[in-house]
Amino acid sequence: MHTTPRTIHTGTQSPRRSRAAWMARTAAFTVLTAATAICLQAQSIIETKAEPSAQSQPSLQTAAPRPALDFYAAMTAPMDLSVLSGESATSSSSSSASTDPAIDSERLNLSSESNQPPPRRRYGRPRYNDNSHNADGSKKLTFELGGGFTVPVGGTHDYSKLNYKFQVGAGRNFNKTFGVLAQFDWDNFGIQTNTLNTLLPIYQSLCGSNCTGNPISQIGGNTHIWSFSINPIINILQSESTGVYVVGGVGFYHKATNITTPSVGTYCDYYYGCYQYPANASIDKYNSNAPGFSGGLGFTYRGSRFSGVKFFTEARYVYIANSERPYYDGTKGTQLSPTYFNVFPQNSAKTSYIPVTFGVRF
């Protein structure tokens, strides 16, 4: 028997086919898995969105149906926002079921109905109604205290020299711009050395040792002016911290001069006995009363717009219309009466000076 041998094919076709089939199955499984995941995710999102709608279904069922929108009617008819406010309150899931009447009363209503609320009030500067402030907020009453120095000018400078002053006052502010101050001023002056040297031989010859018990070898003296005046004040520039004002005044002025000489005073105490001390003895005095006028410029400063205290610096020109009296020493000059004596006529001469004051108003 003849037997034909079998030929076994060992080619590469079968393994390639098997790998292609495996890759196709893997790709199909991957696509199926991704599609399933996408479907599940979409279903989850739809269910999540549907739950709030289901929860809010009772409120939607009880709410009034939304009116149909007519754009032509809305554009031609007067605007009424009450309907819109009701719709916004119904459609909003986070809004309250009931509204506050105070809030409703403040809602803008532009309709032409007669029950519209009054127009919004315009607010300007605050107006005060208490007893201590004016309508613009300024204080009705003001007080001041100050001090400084006096500068004699004109003919007054020929016999007087710079010295000190102090001032107190109170007044009424009618508004932030205008006020009136009542003031008391004390203005002190020294006497020029050449004037004292001129007077010394006169007093030495007239007085001798009868004035103080000892011969006069030296004299001194001073002049002071005290006054009561009424002073209108006008604030011409004002800011939160600084200000500028003008002031004028008229009042009563009393001018007095005291001529002195060095002497020795004696003081006695019950426990320690008597002892002596150097002092000035007055040997002659002069007085003069006259009306006076003043005017000047001042600056103010306060640390805060809410502060009621102001610091001020002020300079004025003061003129006193004294009635002049002639010189008479007993032998020379013009005698006005049997007892008339005046060796210092400057005290009754016209007086002018510039007081400079630093102080505080409150």
Residue 244 pLDDT: 97
pTM for this one?
0.63
Q: Into which CATH architecture does domain 141-361 fall?
A: Beta Barrel (2.40)
The bridge status of strand 160-161 relative to strand 178-191 is antiparallel
Residue 149 pLDDT: 98
Where exactly are the structural domains of the chain?
141-361
Give phi and psi for 145, each to the nearest 5: -150, 130
Contact 143, 179 (CB under 8 A): no
Residue 116 pLDDT: 67
Radius of gyration of the chain (CA): 52
DSSP string, 303-336: SSTT---EEEEEEEEEEE-------B-SSSB--S
For the chain, strand residue ranges (E) read 141-152, 160-161, 163-173, 178-191, 220-238, 242-269, 273-301, 310-320, 351-361
Residue 230 pLDDT: 98
How many CB atoms within 10 Å of residue 197? 10
Low-confidence ranges of the chain (pLDDT < 70): 1-18, 20, 37, 39, 41-116, 121-129, 209-210, 212-213
Comparing CA positions, the residue from 124, 186, 194 lying closest to residue 357 is: 186
Residue 33 pLDDT: 76
